Structure 1
Amino acid sequence: MTEPISVQLYTVRDALAADRDTTLRRLAEVGYRSVEPFDPTTDPEGFRQVADDLGLSVSGTHAYALLSKEPAEVFDAIATVGTDLVIIPGGIAHEEFTTPDGLARTADLLNGLAEQAAGHGMRIGYHNHWWEIEPEIDGRHAIEALADLLAPGVFLEIDTYWAAVGGADVPALLGRLGERVLALHVKDGPVVKGEPHTAVGAGVMPVSEILAAAPAARRVVELDECATDVFAALAESHAYLTSLEGS
């Protein structure tokens, strides 16, 4: 794996809102060399300058904004932030993942966005939660049925924790999805809805087996709600994942 371990900035959203530059510096000091923004339209020029100064690359970006703003404006911001991987992290009604017709509409939406993204030299991906995993379509998780309907260039960023919460055998799911999976959200905890997350390696997730099932996928640490100090947990997560690389 040559891509550096990344961190989804939603993990430090409160600190980021209070002091973006100091927060990014703290992440770099922990050892992160890559980040994944959740709103690339917030001061993209200023963000890129700070990231460059700190030696931080952008592994990809979430882009809810594509569902509500003028796409060209959003794609321009993403280009400034510095990535070509654009991820839709929700914003689609949960019910759409419970029927074949709903999945077809979802695929049409993502495929349409992918066509627009291609004009900017970018790719569209989709990030799951539990509601794309719990429903089954013809005996498979809904995310698998959706993958069959996506254009070849549309990728998946599998949130491994929410996939487990949704009832998936995560390594097996990753094996079935194969090269469609370009990135993983790596997180840990009790695998219970509503319970806070822990540092990666401190919960019950089979992290090493998950990473082995998708060895080429980018690894992005995210802790939606943390049971301990979030920066300490991010440092522990980075150290744990780095130790797995060396084992």
Structure 2
Amino acid sequence: MSTPLAVQLYSVRDHITKDRDRVLSRLAETGYGAVEPFAPRDDPSGFRTVADDLGLQVCATHASELVRGADASEVFDAVSTLGTSLVIVPGGIPKEEFTTGDGLKRVADVLNDLSERAAAHGLELGYHNHEHELESMFDGRHALDVLADLLTPDIFLEIDTYWAAVGGADVPALLQRHGDRVRLLHVKDGPVVRDEPNVAVGEGRIPVGEYLAAAPHAWRVVEFDKCETDVLDALERSLTYLATLD
């Protein structure tokens, strides 16, 4: 991979609340070269200054507030300040919308509108899955696949490989179906059981190498939804393991 390994900062959300700058410094010292924020309007200028000083790229940012009533222009301005052109909707849409065809059309309308508005700010919009978009099926196709057909081609995908596996998908096949549209991968590991904590990448049941090989050009972003051990130590072990795959 030519892009540096990234961390989704939701993984260290509790640590960031206490001392953001120290956490970013620890990630940089560990060897991560990029980060993916999840709250772009939280001091974007200050965040950008610290990240730049540490040599951390901002690969993309999540922005669930885009579908939760926030002023989209304000969000897009914050994303630009962070220094990335990729803004991702990672949640905030009712799960029930992914269980019917009409619901998927409504989701597509929302995302297509946001994509057009993002483009006016020089940004690209992406969508990030959880498990429910894979659990719902339509004539043998996952809801995520149906949704992708309804989205403008300008909208890219960030595939969370772990949640896709929890949802029952053949993850390599999913990645191959969407090809270059998959711009980023969330890389995580664990027992592949809903609500169970994640473990360091390489220490769980996920065939990580197989997943990465199916999307070799996607930016790799390590994430922990939950971690029962020290998450910073687990992030370090994850980086060590992923370096062996390269």
Task: Classify the TM-score, shorter chain.
Answer: over 0.9
Aligned partner of 2:146 in structure 1 is: 145
Percent of paired sites with the same residue: 64
Runs of 4+ in 1 over 4 A off after TM superposition: none
C-alpha contact 2:10 2:225 (8 A) present in aligned 1: yes
1:39 alignment partner in structure 2? 39
Alignment of 1:68-217 (within 5 A): 68-217=69-218
1:40 is displaced (CA, Å) by 0.6
1:9 maps to 9
Give 2:43's aligned amino acid: D
Give the deviation of 1:227 after TM superposition: 2.7
Pairwise CA RMSD: 0.7
> Could you tell me how far 1:109 is from its partner in structure 2?
0.6
| Structure 1: gaps (5+ residues) | none
* Counterpart code for 2:21: D
One-letter code aligned to 1:57: Q
Equivalent position of 1:25 in the other structure = 25
Shift of 1:242: 1.3
Residues in 2 aligned to 1:93 and 1:65: alpha-carbon distance in whole angstroms: 13
State the distance in 1 between where 2:102 and 2:229 align: 42
* Residue aligning to 1:243: 244
Query: Residue 191 of structure 1 aligns to which amino acid in structure 2?
Result: V
Q: Deviations over 1:144-196 (max 9, x none)?
A: 11111110110110000000000011111111121221110000000001110
What one-letter code is carried by the residue in structure 2 that aligns with 1:192?
V
CA distance in 1 between counterparts of 2:234 and 2:60 reads 22
Q: How much does 1:244 deviate?
A: 0.6
Query: Tell me, which stretches of 5 or more residues in structure 2 are unaligned?
Result: none
How many residues align? The count is: 245
TM-score, structure 1 length as denominator? 0.98
Q: Shift in Å at residue 137 of structure 1?
A: 1.1
Measured in 2, the distance between the counterparts of 1:156 and 1:137 equals 20
Instruction: Give the Cα–Cα distance (whole angstroms) in 1 for the partners of residues 243 and 122 of structure 2.
Output: 31
AA at the equivalent of 1:104: K
Q: When the two structures are superposed, what TM-score results if normalisation uses the length of structure 2?
A: 0.98
- Amino acid of the structure 2 residue aligned with 1:87: I
CA distance in 2, matches of 1:74, 1:174: 29
Q: Tell me the amino acid that sits aligned with residue 229 of structure 2.
A: T
SS at match of 1:125: strand
AA partner of residue 39 (structure 2): D
* Aligned-partner SS, 1:156: strand
The DSSP-based 3-state class of the residue aligned with 2:135 is coil
- The Cα offsets for residues 56-82 of structure 1, whole Å up to 9 and x where unpaired, read as 000000001222211111111111111
Query: Counterparts of 1:205 and 1:149 in 2: how far apart (Å)?
Result: 30
Partner of 1:50 in structure 2?
A: 50
CA distance in 2, matches of 1:169, 1:221: 20
Cα separation, 2, equivalents of 1:206 and 1:237: 14
Partner of 1:63: 63
